[in-house]
Amino acid sequence: MGLGTVVVTGAAGSIGRVARRALRGEVGQLVLLDRVAIQQEAANEVVHTVDLRDAPAVEVALSGADAVLHLGGLPDEAPLPDLLEANVLGSHNVLEAARRTAVPRVVLASSNRVTGFYPTAHLTGPQDPVRPDGLYGVSKAAIEALGQLYADKFGLSVICLRIGSFEVTPTEPRHLATWLSPRDAVGFSRAALTCPLSTRFATVYAVSANTRRFWQLPAESELDYTPVDNAELYAAHITGADTPADPSAPQAGPYALPEFTLKHIRP
């Protein structure tokens, strides 16, 4: 599948900005959506200020697209009503707009936090049952379920990317396992946008080729991309990198602590 007209939601976000720069030279038209105003930077860009909770506006923006890279939503732990509205309802509106306007491919930004309670000694893959480390992880599990539904029931081709720790460089010990470099984020996004439409549904971990990673990389049958960066190259500059990881500790690290979620629950 080639790149024609591609919609990027959450285009003002950290991954959205990187994807925008990388993709605009490869597509016929790049349609950029965000709830904050963004400026057109290239002749083949079209920008829309859209709240993803506005289903009619989302449908208008997706009309005529060949694929959607859905990055919009709340990116971290928050009260559950906010996560359901921004992440789950917003994703439903994107999938429903894709169905109504016959967009064949939707790439959903999921998260490694869907499985954050597996221990670091466990090599976790998409076949493992979800074990979210918080309310944010729950919202992303729901998004994956919506993607599976729209693939099974309505014939969309949906790829879920369980995004790792997206940073310019790794800065803490956990990143030595979970880092997703900007270059690999673009590589996974491009591969998910262009893989054959015969791939009806797939969930893959978008993580760099870190020596210490505890997530499975996708097979070529799922997504034809092999990450190239490795957080281990930065280990010498990270305090605590030499401390052995507790094999029974949750992969989510501090995100798995009760207080990380309790502060978002009404007392």
The predicted-structure confidence for 131-162, as pLDDT tens digits, reads as follows 999 999 999 999 999 999 999 999 999 999 99
Question: Residues 171-209: pLDDT tens digits?
Answer: 999 999 999 999 999 999 999 999 999 999 999 999 999
Single out the residue of 58, 43, 51 nearest to residue 7, CA to CA.
Answer: 58
25 found inside a domain: yes
Q: What angle do CA 154, 158, 161 make, to 5 degrees?
A: 155
Is residue 108 within 8 Å of 144, Cβ to Cβ? yes
Distance CA 79, CA 23 (A): 33
Q: How far is CA 88 from the centre of its chain?
A: 13
257 found inside a domain: yes
Single out the residue of 35, 36, 96, 39 nearest to residue 68, CA to CA.
Answer: 96
225 found inside a domain: yes
Dihedral angle sign, alpha carbons of residues 205, 210, 214, 219: positive
Q: Which pLDDT score is estimated for 1? A: 67
What is the overall mean pLDDT for the chain? 96
User: Which residue is catalytic, options 136, 150, 205, 225?
Assistant: 136
Q: Tell whether the model's pLDDT for residue 31 goes beyond 70.
A: yes
267 found inside a domain: no
Distance CA 266, CA 38 (A): 34
Distance CA 207, CA 178 (A): 6
137 found inside a domain: yes
Is residue 47 within 8 Å of 38, Cβ to Cβ? yes
Which pLDDT band, with edges at 50, 70 and 90, does 222 fall under? confident
Structure tokens at 67: 């694929």
Q: Which pLDDT score is estimated for 266? A: 81
Domain count, the chain: 1
Q: Is the pTM of this model over 0.85?
A: yes
Q: At what angle do helices 14-23 and 182-194 cross, to 10 degrees?
A: 60
Amino acid making up residue 248: S
Is residue 136 annotated as part of the catalytic site, yes or no? yes
CATH number at residue 72: 3.40.50.720
Distance CA 140, CA 156 (A): 19
Q: Which domain holds residue 22?
A: 5-262
239 found inside a domain: yes
Of 220 and 231, which is predicted with more confidence? Answer: 231
